Chain A
Amino acid sequence: MREATLPPPRSHGRLVSRLVLLAAACFAFGFALVPLYDTLCRVVGFNGKTLKDAIAAGDVAPGGLDASRKLGVQFTTTLMPGLPWEIRPLEPSIELHPGELRTTRFLVRNLSDKPIVGQAVPSVSPTVAAKHFKKLDCFCFTQQTLAPGESREMALTFIVDREIGPEISELTLAYAFFPAPTPPSGSTQ
């Protein structure tokens, strides 16, 4: 048995500042997840997110269309609360070949007596098909303003590329229509 004398008071400064730094880094990591997650979703197609921007006309269909396969594509629409619109696909379902360029139209109508700005958000299922669903032109790329009572046909031009897996024969493109987020205060109509 031996007795230790009270050790000199030890400075905890280094350890504590490292731990505080770790906590701060983890807080930053939470925010870094926002762009990371978005990128990951678009690259891998998680959540059925499609590529944000139009692809160039030249990249449309490398290798042309694959006439040996047929794909069923269905279009559905959902109105989110607060958007007094009517909306439906003019062709609820179509058949096409992988690599085939197609245009389809959606009918929208503003049922209210006010001009309203809406935004369509696409989602593809099964989610693994999302990255193969490529849009050349889409009304979802921009916000849409409809005058009171106005009706409009909106076009979507797309291909489903040839790389889509053989296990997929049907896919669904769902559009959720949101009232456009109000711009941050400061900007005027």
Chain B
Amino acid sequence: MNTATHALDHHDGHGHQPTGLMRWLTTTNHKDIGTMYLTFSLLMFFVGGAMILAVRAELFQPGLQLMKPEFFNQLIGVHALVMIFAALMPAATGFANWMIPLMIGAPDMALPRLNNWGFWLLPPAAMLLTMPFILAIFGIGDGAVDTGWTLYAPLSVQGGIGVDFAIFSIHILGISSIMGSINIIATILNMRAPGMTLMKMPLFCWGWLVTAVLLIITLPVLAGGVTMLLTDRHFGTHFFDAAGGGDPILFQHLFWFFGHPEVYILLLPVWGLMPHVLSTFSRKPIYGHTAQVYGFIAIGVLGLIVWAHHFMTAGLPVPALLYFMYSTMAISLPLAVLFFCWIATMWRGAMSFETPMLFAIGFIVLFGIAGLTGLVLADVAADAQYHHSYFVVAHFHYALFAGGIMGVMTGVYYWLPKWTGHMYSERLGKLHFWLTVISFNFTFMPQFFLGLAGMPRRIPDYALQFAEFNAISTVGAFVLGLSQLLFAWNVWRCVRGGQRASDKVWEGTSGLEWELSSPPPHHSWDVQPVIK
């Protein structure tokens, strides 16, 4: 790729750049907004993590020690909503904001003001979600949403004010995500550098393009579903009330029509960045660029038509069960293409194992376990046993912690020197990786066995025979949670200073983003590069 990088003597800020808090409140710069998304995400990651550590502490031993079951139920539901909507999704959007303009040679995002608005909707939404906890302390209401993150009717129709707060929070988070998605699609389709055809576009941008389309299609359906829930609760409609002619299973369809693509919404940006990292540290070009693009699209399309595998025990007729089983299993084909491309990218490369590469390889191995256990769950006959057990909990944490969060950490370590202009501490990074990957397996591997042995999820107390595995899992969870403080400290140190990073940062990089200075100038590409 030949590019023309011209001297960038830009005039920063046009003379009236606000400083301090006003800079962040009013910024329309894609890098500032990306930084805010990532900071918010890290903060909420610790909030959601603290909640689940309280849960794991309760589960350390059988019996009720620390909290009432109602509070336990609130913690698990809000943990999931916080981690999905306030930690993982904003992290991916932060990556998109920072990297897409750099990668496609654009000066900024297409709709910078919308971008600012999209971010600043997030803090109020997160406050709405968690406020009922605080209100309950003052005797208002009975705490946060306690239905689990899936908000299944009729339980959610009967729930307290926490459900209403969660519904409004989901509305706002949804609007924010849709605005972010529209912005990303407009940026990708309209602002690529001359010569960068869609097929030449970096895979990270491709992953996000598919994600953004999925978000625009599925989030409004969830918004519709929770709106029906709201009117059922307060305005006398009977969408989910069987006595009034409604159907509670309809809620499950509406929820999972969003909920399943949501899994790919969380993972596609990570799948997009993974090949860049693998190629950099293997010092080889990405293997199967085109195949991976079609893999993303195929998974996006298939992801839209498999939702009912989340409630195969709800009483679906056998032909429907078979359809959802086979279509779910079919997703493993394009996913296997991605896995083979990742491995082939490393094949016979001159590999080195810096922190991002360690996380990338950890991701491939552990996310592979998520995929394989997912195939087991997709089997209708087997699912009858595994459904609603700890097997499911272990499976989706392999997908969303090892796949999602470790993927995000791969990206953070990989791009942090580019963002800050400093190198992070490699020693701390490696320590963080090994602590994370070992304690992660200590936390979640026992949960597979717990699920196989029949321990149901979402219970604060359990039978005695599950005690040992739960104790191991809790110890693992606390090590896992505390190790993340190392990550926060490493990022903080890197932002504050450290060894200067070169423009290219890593020896084996290629792509437009590595031709800008580290950190990149205020306006990324004042002069668009030309790709031949």
**A34 lies within 8 A of chain B by Cβ:** yes
Q: Is the CB of B239 within 8 A of A34?
A: yes
Partner of B185, one of A15, A46, A180: A15
Q: Is the CB of B236 within 8 A of A185?
A: yes
A125 and B317 alpha carbons, distance in the complex (Å): 10
Partner of A19, one of B185, B241, B254, B528: B185
Of B245-253, B327-335, B439-447, B462-470, the one contacting chain A is B245-253
A121 and B244 alpha carbons, distance in the complex (Å): 9
Interface residues in A25-57 (C-beta closer than 8 Å to B): 26-31, 33-34, 37-38, 41, 44-49
A64 and B527 alpha carbons, distance in the complex (Å): 83
Of A4-12, A85-93, A94-102, the one contacting chain B is A4-12
Partner of B528, one of A6, A15, A178, A182: A6
Q: Is the CB of B527 within 8 A of A30?
A: no
**A176 lies within 8 A of chain B by Cβ:** yes
A22 and B315 alpha carbons, distance in the complex (Å): 32
> Scoring A residues 166 to 189 as 1 if CB is less than 8 Å from chain B, else 0, what string do you get?
000000000010111111110000
Minimal beta-carbon separation of A138 from chain B (angstroms): 14
Q: Is the CB of A19 within 8 A of B317?
A: no
A37 and B246 alpha carbons, distance in the complex (Å): 10
Of B82-90, B223-231, B389-397, the one contacting chain A is B223-231
> Scoring B residues 84 to 110 as 1 if CB is less than 8 Å from chain A, else 0, what string do you get?
000000000000000000000001001
**A80 lies within 8 A of chain B by Cβ:** yes
Report the nearest A residue to B224, measured CB to CB.
A30
> Scoring B residues 2 to 17 as 1 if CB is less than 8 Å from chain A, else 0, what string do you get?
1110100000000000
Q: Is the CB of B182 within 8 A of A19?
A: yes
Number of chain A residues whose Cβ lies closer than 8 Å to a Cβ of chain B: 49
**B137 lies within 8 A of chain A by Cβ:** no
Report the nearest A residue to B242, measured CB to CB.
A121
> Scoring B residues 213 to 240 as 1 if CB is less than 8 Å from chain A, else 0, what string do you get?
0001111111111001000000110110
**B50 lies within 8 A of chain A by Cβ:** no
On chain B, the residues within 8 Å of A119 by CB distance are 243-244
Partner of A16, one of B6, B186, B222: B186
On chain A, the residues within 8 Å of B110 by CB distance are 12
Q: Is the CB of A3 within 8 A of B218?
A: no
Q: Is the CB of A179 within 8 A of B220?
A: no
**A20 lies within 8 A of chain B by Cβ:** yes
What are the nearest 10 A-B pairs in CB distance? A30-B224, A178-B243, A27-B220, A184-B236, A26-B220, A30-B221, A181-B244, A3-B4, A119-B243, A12-B186
- CB<8 Å pairs between A and B, sample of 18: A1-B530, A2-B4, A4-B527, A4-B530, A5-B527, A7-B194, A15-B185, A15-B190, A24-B220, A26-B218, A26-B221, A29-B221, A30-B224, A33-B257, A127-B316, A128-B317, A179-B243, A181-B244
Residue positions of B touching A, CB distance < 8 A: 2-4, 6, 107, 110-111, 178, 181-182, 185-186, 189-191, 193-194, 216-225, 228, 235-236, 238-239, 241-244, 247, 249-250, 253-254, 257, 315-318, 320, 526-530
